């Protein structure tokens, strides 16, 4: 089940999956508490198994009404079960209802196929994020009402 969660609830999975076990206080994003930011999680029974953070940020080449997806992560024990896809589908519905124009992200190269299946397209060449690895910018245009 998808639920809104707090920024603090995202930190254990960010640490485990995205930051190679760094202390949770080093996994905080500057945007975590910015107005308009929201965090969602997928719960299997009572266990938080997948997370994502979204905040208003326009991509420099795609105009206004953009949201950036960041910190998408699934517990490796639960990977491949569709929980991450459920989060993205929830986000698409929520942001479409809010009249956002698009969602964009820096997708790890290893996650490109996941995002492509959900309607995202690559909009950059591969680039390196220091200490994290190779990425592509990807975007999913929304149906603006």
List the domain range (segments joined by +) for residue 114: 2-141
CATH number at residue 116: 3.40.630.30
Structure confidence at residue 145 (pLDDT): 58
pLDDT range class, residue 144, cuts 50, 70, 90 = low
pLDDT in tens, 24-79: 999 999 999 999 999 999 999 999 999 999 999 999 999 999 999 999 999 999 98
C-alpha to C-alpha distance for 145 and 127, rounded to whole angstroms? 34
Residue of 84, 38, 85 lying closest to 57 (CA atoms): 38
Token pair of 111 as six digits? 């996650």
pLDDT range class, residue 20, cuts 50, 70, 90 = confident
Whether the predicted model's global pTM rises above the 0.75 cut: yes
pLDDT in tens, 75-125: 999 988 999 999 999 999 999 999 999 999 999 999 999 999 999 999 999
Domain count, the chain: 1
Within 10 angstroms of residue 132's Cβ, the number of other Cβ atoms is 12
Residue of 89, 73, 69 lying closest to 2 (CA atoms): 89
């Amino acid at each position: 089940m998808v639920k809104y969660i707090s920024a603090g609830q995202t930190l254990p999975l960010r640490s485990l999956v995205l930051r190679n076990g760094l202390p949770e206080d080093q996994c905080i994003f500057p945007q975590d508490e910015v107005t308009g930011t929201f965090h969602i999680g997928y719960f299997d029974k009572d266990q938080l198994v997948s997370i994502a953070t979204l905040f208003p940020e326009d991509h420099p080449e795609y105009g206004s009404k953009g949201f950036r997806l960041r910190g998408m992560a699934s517990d490796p024990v639960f990977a491949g079960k569709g929980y991450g896809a459920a989060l993205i589908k929830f986000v698409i519905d929520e942001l479409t209802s809010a009249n956002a124009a698009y969602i964009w992200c820096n997708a790890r190269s290893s996650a490109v196929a996941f995002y492509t299946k959900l309607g995202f397209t690559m909009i950059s060449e591969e680039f390196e994020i220091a200490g994290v690895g190779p990425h592509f910018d990807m975007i999913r245009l929304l149906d603006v009402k």
